[in-house]
Chain A
């Protein structure tokens, strides 16, 4: 078990380009979460999945953002037509609901810089 893996760790792109981040959760975890974090702020919830079903989306997740978890394993977060305001750290977390505490394990994040 190598924990939650996120790729790429860093992405620099030009405004208007599309970017995709991938998250590989801990293998037995059925829940997967995406958060966004800007400098000096705590992580902000974006969305979460239970298995392959997307159960909640934040209003922060505009139409340009889409997240998928097609087989209930890895997940992707795509941002279309990036804007400078999308520059942030994108964090993925996973958890197992059968554990009782539903403790979230976070990855190291994917840092996006939009020029």
Chain B
């Protein structure tokens, strides 16, 4: 799986949009970008994933650059409960199906996001 690079830590004011960058310059054509977060003393929680198009769900938006070498996770209105470590992961699949191929998620050290009241 491609290596990802994320800032070690970030702060964001409560109520503002939190933009978390991720570089994955060696990503290959069949690799998806996944984001998980881990709140203190809990297991990681899935947020969103995408291949090349921007994605949005009830938790966040994922913006992937056209060359797919980087992406940004956006939490539109950050709350104190969004304080967590955020992991950007690229993961291979076969064709357009991410459920085959390399099955494990390989976590880095992530970005520690702190929401400031």
B residues engaging A (CB < 8 A)?
36, 41-46, 49, 85, 87, 97-100, 103-110
Report, as a range, how many residues of chain A touch the other chain.
20 to 34
Q: What are 16 of the A-B contact pairs (CB < 8 Å)? A: A35-B107, A42-B85, A42-B109, A42-B110, A44-B107, A45-B104, A93-B43, A93-B44, A97-B99, A100-B97, A101-B99, A104-B46, A106-B43, A106-B44, A107-B43, A108-B43
Contacts A42-B109, A100-B97; A108 near B103 (Cβ below 8 A): no
Interface pair B44/A55, CB less than 8 Å apart: no
Interface pair A43/B46, CB less than 8 Å apart: no
Query: 1/0 per position for A81-115, CB-CB distance to B under 8 A?
Result: 00000000001010001111111111111000000
Output the least CB separation between B104 and chain A (Å).
Answer: 4
Interface pair B106/A45, CB less than 8 Å apart: yes
Interface pair A42/B87, CB less than 8 Å apart: yes
A residues engaging B (CB < 8 A)?
4, 31, 33, 35, 40-45, 48, 55-56, 91, 93, 97-109
Count of chain A to chain B residue pairs whose CB atoms are closer than 8 Å in the complex: 57
Contacts A97-B99, A100-B97; A45 near B44 (Cβ below 8 A): no
Interface pair A45/B99, CB less than 8 Å apart: no
Output the least CB separation between A33 and chain B (Å).
Answer: 7
* Cα A55 to Cα B104 with chains together (Å): 11
